[in-house]
């Protein structure tokens, strides 16, 4: 058993601990922290189970499965928070997921990979297709916000209609992106997929029933722990002196994206930058083109209307993150300084969100 698996087994202990903390009322701060820690191994095993099942069901259905369940942890946390009415935290966690994937995950990968290898290369074509899709997603997120900011007095209903219309377009584009990468232009992505398989699945025949069970159990447990996390969130973060914005943009995505962090950094240190960049950029693309629109539509159905009208400052943060990540990844080369620049950008954004006043409350 590897050190990583042992570490995850230990983290599993936080599932009973968090439940005890909740029912024995040890305080919201302890519930919040232990539930957050308990989600980490569950997210990792959900990812592993998805990969194993993907191998069994074949590349097409498997790719679709990966594309849908790849960000399942974020999606579950967000749905629970949305149902609890924490609309602003959910919105903030969307922007935060995009930012942390592009800056923190990709930055750490390029820095730690670059400390071992003078220059690392990856296929710029995949980075570019992803970058263009990200640009579209940013435009889609930007428009309702820009409209609300430049033309005061738009009704909430109009913003909601616009957001749903935009969400439908984004989900269609996401489906077409999958068609492109898995069918019509799959050859462009070959290297990456081959590496994923070698990397994650060294054994020949995974047991589909076992892994489906693992996936089901982990999904349920993530949902339970998310309930605890979300319930305790308001009190815990205000005890820590943090705003809802900082919690949503910085803390929640670190919990939700821990699995991507681990994968991207590990493979970068093995000089597999193609895979590392595609995990980081692909995950942020999935958030923007799939998770965010699904949440808009889910919010509509749940009676917790969630539009795409972000706080202008969140949008500034997403736009600059996408621009600097595109600028650094567009040449298909990386080194430790480029990783450092991404991390520095994340640090200054983190400072800014820390100091940003909480204008609109947690809900």
**212 is an interface residue for a second copy by CB under 8 A:** no
CB 102 within 8 A of CB 342: yes
Contact between 143 and a second copy per CB under 8 A: yes
Q: How many CB atoms lie within 10 A of CB 18?
A: 26
Bridge partners (DSSP) listed for residue 121 = 333
User: Which residues within the stretch 335-354 sit at the binding site for a second copy (CB under 8 A)?
Assistant: 335-338, 340-341, 344-345, 347-349, 351-352
Number of residues that bind a second copy (CB under 8 A): 62
Nearer to a second copy, 158 or 266 (CB): 158
What contacts 24+ positions apart, CB below 8 Å, involve 348-356?
349/99, 349/103, 349/317, 349/320, 349/321, 350/250, 352/313, 352/317, 353/245, 353/246, 353/249, 353/250, 353/317, 354/242, 354/246, 354/250, 356/243, 356/245, 356/246, 356/313
Query: Could you say which of 5, 132, 207, 239 contacts a second copy (CB under 8 A)?
Result: 132
Among 94, 53, 117, which Cα is nearest to 271's?
117
Instruction: For residue 318, state whether it binds a second copy (rule: CB under 8 A).
Output: no
CA distance 98 to 346: 11
> Does 242 help bind a second copy (rule: CB under 8 A)?
no
Asked if residue 356 binds a second copy (CB under 8 A), the reply is yes
Decide if residue 129 touches a second copy (CB under 8 A). Answer: yes
Nearer to a second copy, 31 or 273 (CB): 273
Classified as helix, coil or strand, 120 is: strand
Specify the residue, 162 or 229, whose C-beta has the smaller distance to a second copy.
162
Concatenating the DSSP letter of every residue in 66-93 gives: HHHHTTHHHHHHHHHHHHTT-HHHHHHH
Contact between 172 and a second copy by CB under 8 A: the answer reads yes
User: Helix, strand, or coil here: 121?
Assistant: strand
Q: Residues 19, 83, 85, 180: which binds a second copy (CB under 8 A)?
A: 180
Residue 333 per-residue DSSP state: E
68: contact with a second copy by CB under 8 A: no
Residues in touch with a second copy (CB under 8 A): 118, 125, 128-129, 131-133, 135-136, 139-140, 142-144, 146-147, 150-151, 153-154, 158, 161-162, 165-166, 169-170, 172-173, 176-177, 180, 184-185, 311-313, 316, 320, 323-324, 326-328, 331, 335-338, 340-341, 344-345, 347-349, 351-352, 355-357, 359
């Amino acid at each position: 058993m590897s050190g990583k698996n042992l570490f995850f087994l230990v983290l599993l202990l936080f599932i009973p601990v968090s439940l005890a903390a909740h029912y024995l009322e040890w305080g919201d701060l302890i519930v919040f922290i232990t539930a957050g820690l308990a989600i980490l191994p569950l997210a990792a095993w959900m990812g592993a189970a998805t990969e194993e099942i993907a191998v069994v069901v074949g590349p097409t259905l498997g790719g679709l499965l990966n594309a849908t369940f790849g960000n399942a942890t974020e999606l579950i946390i967000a749905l629970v928070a949305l149902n609890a009415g924490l609309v602003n935290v959910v919105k903030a966690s969307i922007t935060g997921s995009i930012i942390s994937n592009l800056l923190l995950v990709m930055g750490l990968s390029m820095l730690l990979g670059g400390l071992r290898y003078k220059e690392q290369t990856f296929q710029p074509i995949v980075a570019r297709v992803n970058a263009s899709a990200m640009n579209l997603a940013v435009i889609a997120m930007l428009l309702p916000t820009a409209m609300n900011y430049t033309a005061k007095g738009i009704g909430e209903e109009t913003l909601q209609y616009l957001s749903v219309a935009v969400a439908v377009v984004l989900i269609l584009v996401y489906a077409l992106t999958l068609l492109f990468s898995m069918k019509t232009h799959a050859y462009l992505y070959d290297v990456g997929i081959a590496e994923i398989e070698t990397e994650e699945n060294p054994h020949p025949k995974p047991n589909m029933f076992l892994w489906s069970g693992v996936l089901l159990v982990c999904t349920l447990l993530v949902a339970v722990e998310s309930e605890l996390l979300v319930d305790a969130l308001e009190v815990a973060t205000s005890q820590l002196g943090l705003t809802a914005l900082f919690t949503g943009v910085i803390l929640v995505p670190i919990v939700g994206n821990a699995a991507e962090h681990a994968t991207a950094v590990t493979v970068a240190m093995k000089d597999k930058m193609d895979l590392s960049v595609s995990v980081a950029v692909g995950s942020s693309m999935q958030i923007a083109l799939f998770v965010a629109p699904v949440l808009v539509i889910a919010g509509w159905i749940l009676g917790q209307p969630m539009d795409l009208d972000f706080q202008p400052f969140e949008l500034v943060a997403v736009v600059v993150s996408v621009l600097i990540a595109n600028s650094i990844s567009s040449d298909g080369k990386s080194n430790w300084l480029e990783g450092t620049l991404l991390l520095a950008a994340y640090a200054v954004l983190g400072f800014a969100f820390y100091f940003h006043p909480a204008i609109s409350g947690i809900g």
